[in-house]
Amino acid sequence: MPDQNTEPRIDAYIEKATPFARPILTHLRKLVHQACPRITESVKWSMPFFIQQGVILCHMAAFKQHCAFGFWGKEMQKALAEDGLKSSQAMGTLGRIMSMKDLPPDKDLLGYLRRAAALVESGQRTKSIDRPAKRKPKPVVVPPELTTALKKNKVASRAFAAFPPGKQREYAEWIAEAKRAETKQQRLTQAIRWIAQGKSRNWKYENC
C-alpha cells in the first residue's frame, strides 16, 4: 500500500502478524485511508495508529487469535455505544475480530471513520486523550492549638510556613486526631521541636 501517508513500520507489522490477521489489518487500513484522505500513520505502544491533524482517530492490533480495532474520543465512543458497538471482550471497539466476517459492513465503518475525522476537522476534538481535570488539593486546616504554638516559636513558624502542603497536613492531622488533652499537648510539644528543626512528621522513616 505505497502512499506518502503510510508508515513502513505498519507494513512490517502486518507482514509479521499471524496469517489470519493480515487480510483483516490490510482491509481496515484501506478503509481508514479511503474515508480519511488526510490521515497519517504511526506506531505507538507497538501498535498501528491513525492520526489526523495531530489527533488520534483510531488504532488496530493483531494478537495470536484475534484482532482489535478501536476509535478514540468520547464522542465516538458514545456514538458507537448507541449503535451497540461496545465491547469488554477485547481491546478496542469492535470486540474480538477473528475473521473478515466479524467486521461491520464497509459502509458502516466508512461512516464511522468519516464522522471521527469530521470531529477533528470541525474542532470538536483537539486532543487525543480527554484527561479529567486535576482536582485542586484541599486547603490545609491547621488546628488552633498548633497555630497558637507556632506563634510562640518564630523558628518553627517560619519552618512550617516553608513546608509544602503535604508536610503541613501531616502535622495538622496528627494534632487534630489527638483525643485527650494530655496527648494533644504532648504532640504539640514534639511537633514544635521537630518543625523548628525542619523535620517532617515522619522524618524517622524517610531514610529507611
**pLDDT of residue 58 exceeding 60:** yes
pLDDT confidence of 82, banded at 50, 70, 90? confident
Domains of the chain: residue spans and CATH? 8-121 (3.90.1150.200), 144-203 (no CATH)
189: DSSP letter: H
In this prediction, residues 11-39 reach a mean pLDDT of: 96
- How confident is the model over 106-119, as pLDDT tens digits? 999 999 999 999 99
Q: What is the mean pLDDT of the chain?
A: 90
Q: Do 188 and 172 meet the contact criterion of CB atoms below 8 Å apart?
A: no
Query: How long is the chain?
Result: 208
pLDDT at 87: 58
pLDDT confidence of 132, banded at 50, 70, 90? low
